[in-house]
Amino acid sequence: MAIETSFIFELTDVSKRYEGHAAIDGVDLCIGQGQVVVLIGPSGCGKSTLLRLMVGLITPDSGCVLFEQEPLSLENVRSQRHRMGYVIQDGGLFPHLTARQNITLLARHLSWDDSRIHERIETLAELTSFPLAALDRYPLEMSGGQRQRVSLMRALMLDPDVLLLDEPLGALDPMIRSQLQDDLREIFSRLGKTVVLVTHDLAEAAYLADTIVLLHEGRIVQQGDLPSLIESPANDFVTKFINAQRGASILQGGAS
Amino acid sequence: MNLVQLRRKFSLLIIAMGVGFFAPIVSADDAINPTVTVGSKKFTESVILGEMVSLLAEHAGGSVTHRRELGGTRVLWNALVDGSIDMYPEYTGTLREEIFIGQAVGNEDALRKLLATHGVRMSEPMGFNNTYAIGMNREQAKNLGITALSDLRDHPELRFGFTSEFMDRGDGWPSLCEAYRLPQKNVRGMDHDLCYRALAAGGIDLMDMYATDAEISYYNLAVLRDDLKHFPRYEAVLLYRDGLADRAAAVLKQVLLLGGSIDERTMTGINARVKLDDIPESQAAADFLREKFDIEVKVNVESIGARLWRTTCEHLFLVLVSLSASIFVGIPLGVIASKRPRLGQLVLGVVGVVQTIPALALLVLLMTLLRPLSVVGVESIGAHPAIAALFLYSLLPIVRNTYTGLMGIPLPLRESATALGLSGQAQLLRVELPLALPTLLAGVKTAAVLNIGFATLGALIGAGGYGQPILTGIRLDNISLILQGALPAAGLAILAQGMFELFERTVVSRGLRLRHRD
Ligand SMILES: Nc1ncnc2c1ncn2[C@@H]1O[C@H](COP(=O)(O)OP(=O)(O)O)[C@@H](O)[C@H]1O
Ligand SMILES: [Mg+2]
């Protein structure tokens, strides 16, 4: 039974403090191969911090973070990052590079040959429904939705084992947002990759997630699928959070 | 034991070969055409004397460089002592009052002995006494009934304009004021040539002057009698390095002809030809040599075009070398400063302090600092200290803008580069520096423009460039000469600015310029 656990991420009693205030407070979290895990919770509860710990941008004050059974360390963090695709909250595209240059920056740094790069870009553009003609635009010449697709392509360029997305749809208007939600779900299912996605929108979480992880003040309050959160909430906070997020009618419908 | 002997033999051989290789070249060349570097101060009489010396030395077969118009006695004295120049015209009074101030030097023999301790020799006096004098408008002097310095005691309202040298030196204003118990309080320091103009315009009433100044007659001035015999004698002499007698005996012999050959009337006359009749110094000097010694020398009077070309080359040399050095040092310093906050504050602090040192002080400071490097061929006057000063001055805008450019990159972008798994070097080269480039280039542009302007001061220490015609123009009250330096300098600054803007357009990513537009 212990042998069967092929976790991509394994966080054990991880804590991170800022100025005496715990941003992450004793978190245990295991993320299995091929799972889509959505981190959710109110603003400031530590979602981004948790993601940054996983990608090694910050190191925990205590506890340990294992990525594919290995702790993140100074020596191997760079090669580990090549197996993760991380997209920060607002995309983080480099404004001085075109979409194509952004996507291929790392591959070129790793001296991939041109035909391989070209092939990969075509695959990714097809996957994310990004128009080839727009590849030579600079970030400031693209729409918000296009920028998110480019960020996603950049994260996927090296075909990583896991995607880490911090509120990828946060800044988009509702129409584009719902379009992208559909596309993301499609992409996740086609790739079959492990995904850790941050959102503060419960409907989006329910739509995309295999497992929802609800955070509050740096701790994991409950994890599971939406029905289990609704039917057997771990505490009052869970109910309150769901209440606030969903229309009252839906909640009543679910409860009856 | 054998090995040690062998090694010793071998090294002796190497040394012998080295000496054998260099010695013939140096001595042969020096014997036929000894190189002689002549210096002169930045006033007309000194430049004329420097020209006479240079022409005579050349006539005797010397290969001569004349470092004209160097700024100040100390600059020349130091250059002579450390061998940057071989000889220059000086005044005995200046030696006593400025170089050996505080050491009561007795008669001429005592002065010679003291000079010898510095490896310096003195020629016979040339024959004129260019002492300090106080002068004023002839009309005004007559109206107020002033003929001697003692008369000034009754006119406390009169305003003095002095050269800053006169304000400070031992026999200058402080002791003059004490000796004559002068009551005047309105005293200011300014450039000698500006004093004349201020006097003519009524901005001041009295000024210090030299007894052989050409302007005395031009501005119709009265020289006040030194009735208490306050001013020491300022006999014109030549100072030269000890070694010159061995190294360039024929040249020295020729140059020393000048001893006892110029009286005050002659000198004032030559000064007036140059200052008032616009005869080039070299021409006036050559005319004197022909009349006095029947020596014919060629003078090459530079055409305006040739001078423009030469000063442009000199100026560009100063600017390009110093600016490139600041770019190569400044950008890495800025990068280091942005990576290590503590060290960064220190670096920014130090280059900031350098910027606050007044330009002239920095030049003189560097001349002193570079003196020990003369053994490796670094000169303590001329282009070397000027380039060092320009390098330091250009550093601040480059370091600071590199630093602010890098620090201004939003954290999410830096983290994205890290999270991608780029190496530190690749992050810097492919992300951070390109993002900081507009700010960085603005810093280099500022440095270039500052540098071009500041390089005009290099002329004060013999580095040439556009500052040279400006200096000469101020000295000769010649606007056209001033413009021949000032206009190209301004033009070069504008050109540099334009070129940087063009360069910016080609190297800064269009993606960044989009942001700048909205
Ligand atoms: N670099 C930092 N310095 C100080 N405080 C931080 C830092 N990063 C995060 N925090 C704090 O940690 C807590 C969690 O932040 P974050 O993980 O960004 O929350 P969110 O769930 O909104 O993504 C917040 O209180 C935030 O102020
Ligand atoms: Mg966040």
Per-residue pLDDT of chain A (256 residues; tens, 9 = 90+): 444 567 899 999 999 999 989 999 999 999 999 999 999 999 999 999 999 999 999 999 999 999 998 898 888 889 999 999 999 888 899 999 999 999 999 999 999 999 999 999 999 999 999 999 999 999 999 988 899 999 999 999 999 999 999 998 877 788 888 889 999 999 999 999 999 999 988 889 999 999 999 999 999 999 999 899 889 889 999 999 998 876 643 444 433 3
Pick from A193-197, B222-226, B281-285: least confident? B222-226
Tell whether B418 is within 8 A of chain A (Cβ): yes
- B100-130 pLDDT, tens per residue? 988 888 888 999 999 999 999 999 999 998 8
pLDDT in tens, B337-384: 999 989 999 999 999 998 898 888 888 888 888 888 877 778 878 889
Say yes or no: A134 contacts chain B, CB-CB below 8 A. no
Give the pLDDT of residue B461.
86
* Selected residue with higher pLDDT from A42 and B264: A42
d(CA B356, CA B350) in angstroms, rounded, equals 10
Supply the mean pLDDT for chain B.
88
Please indicate whether, in this complex, the C-beta atoms of B435 and A96 are within 8 angstroms of each other.
yes
Counting ligands in written order, the one closest to the CA of A17 is: 1
Amino acid, res. B339 = K
- pLDDT score of B369: 86
> Mind giving me the DSSP string for B214-273?
THHHHTTEEEPB-TT--S---BEEEEEETTHHHHTHHHHHHHGGGTT---HHHHHHHHHH
Interchain CB distance below 8 Å, A55 and B430: no
For B229-255, write each residue's pLDDT tens digit: 888 888 999 999 999 999 999 999 999
Top pLDDT among B25 and A5 is at: A5
A92 touches B at CB < 8 Å:
yes
Contact A94 B413 (CB under 8 A): yes
Question: How do strand B187-189 and strand B236-241 relate by DSSP bridges?
Answer: unpaired
Pocket of ligand 1 (CB under 6 A): A 18, 23, 43-49
Cα(A23) to centroid of ligand 1, in Å? 6
Residues of B with CB below 8 A from A106's CB? Answer: 420-422
User: Do B423 and A78 lie within an 8 Å CB cutoff?
Assistant: yes
A217 vs A25: CA distance, rounded Å: 8
Question: How many whole angstroms from A225 Cα to the centroid of ligand 2?
Answer: 22
Is residue B14's pLDDT more than 70?
A: no
Q: Name the more confident of B210 and B349.
A: B349
Nearest to B412 among A88, A105, A138 (CB): A88
- State both tokens at A124: 């990714």
Give distance in angstroms: CA of B233 to centre of ligand 1.
81
Contact A94 B435 (CB under 8 A): yes
State how far the Cα of B73 lies from the Cα of B68, in Å rounded to an integer.
13
In chain A, which residues have their Cβ closer than 8 Å to the Cβ of B423?
A: 78, 109
Closest among B48, B25, B21, B46 to B35, alpha carbons compared:
B25
Q: Which chain B residues have a beta carbon less than 8 Å from that of A52?
A: 415
Q: Which ligand is nearest to the CA of A45?
A: 1
Cβ within 8 Å, pair B422-A92: no
CA B218 – CA B275 distance, rounded (Å)? 10
CA A85 / ligand 1 centre spacing (Å): 21
Q: What is the pLDDT of residue A5?
A: 60
Using DSSP's 3-state secondary structure scheme, residue B401 falls into: helix
Assess contact for B173 and B167: CB atoms under 8 A. yes
Which whole number is the average pLDDT over B411-422? 92
Q: What is the pLDDT of residue B30?
A: 54
Of B426, B511, B514, the CB nearest to A97: B511
Beta carbons of A95 and B515 less than 8 Å apart: yes
Q: Which of B421, B434, B437 sits opposite A106 (nearest CB)?
A: B421
Query: If pLDDT is split at 50, 70 and 90, which confidence band does B8 have?
Result: low
Confidence of residue B513 (pLDDT cuts 50, 70, 90): confident
Residue B440 in contact with partner chain A when CB distance is under 8 A: no
Atom of ligand 1 nearest to the CA of A42: 21
Atom nearest to A89 CA in ligand 1 = 23
The Cα–Cα gap between A235 and A229 comes to 10
> What's the pLDDT at B42?
86
3-class DSSP state for residue B87?
strand
Measured distance CA(A63)–CA(B414) in Å, rounded: 26
Q: How far is A42 from chain B (nearest CA, A)?
A: 21
**Ligand 2 centre distance from Cα of residue A41 (Å):** 10
Residues of A in contact with B415 (CB under 8 A): 52, 57, 88, 92
Q: Three-state SS for B182?
A: coil
Residue B45 is encoded by which pair of tokens?
A: 């009489």
CB-based contact A96 B434, cutoff 8 Å: yes
Residue B515 with chain A: CB contacts under 8 Å = 95, 140
Query: What does the block give as tokens for B419?
Result: 């999270």
Spell out the domains of chain B, with CATH numbers in brackets.
3-17+304-517 (1.10.3720.10), 33-127+234-293 (3.40.190.10), 132-223 (3.40.190.120)
A57 contacts chain B (CB < 8 A): yes
At residue B19, the pLDDT reads 41
pLDDT at residue B149 tops 80: yes
> Is B428 touching A (CB cutoff 8 A)?
no
- Closest chain A residue to the Cα of B425, Cα to Cα: A109
Q: Do B435 and A154 touch (CB under 8 A)?
A: no
A92 φ/ψ angles, rounded to the nearest 5 degrees = 65, 30
Chain A touched by B506 (CB under 8 Å)? no
In single-letter form, the type of residue at position B280 comes to P
Q: What is the pLDDT of residue B75?
A: 87
Q: Which residues are registered as beta bridge partners of A164?
A: A86, A196
A194 touches chain B (CB under 8 A): no
Using the Cβ of A58 and the Cβ atoms of chain B, whether some distance falls under 8 Å is answered with no
- Would you give the DSSP letter of residue B148? B
Protein residue with least CA distance to atom 14, ligand 1: A46
Mutate to test the pocket of ligand 1, among A48, A87, A221 (most ligand atoms within 8 A of CB): A48
pLDDT of B297-314, one tens digit each? Answer: 888 778 889 999 999 999
* H and E: helices and strands count for chain A: 10, 10
pLDDT at B277 exceeding the cut of 80? yes
Q: Residue B501 and residue B518: Cα distance in Å, rounded?
A: 19
Selecting from B413, B423, B509 the residue whose C-beta is nearest the C-beta of A92 gives: B413
Contact A106 B430 (CB under 8 A): no
Report the atom number in ligand 1 closest to the C-alpha of A58. Answer: 1
Secondary structure element (H or E) that encloses residue B336, with its range: helix B304-339
Closest Cα in chain B to A54: B419
Residue of A96, A97, A154 for testing the chain B interface, max B β-carbons within 10 Å: A96
How close, in Å, is residue B323 to chain A by CA atoms? 27
Residues of chain B positioned with their CB less than 8 A from the CB of A139: 511
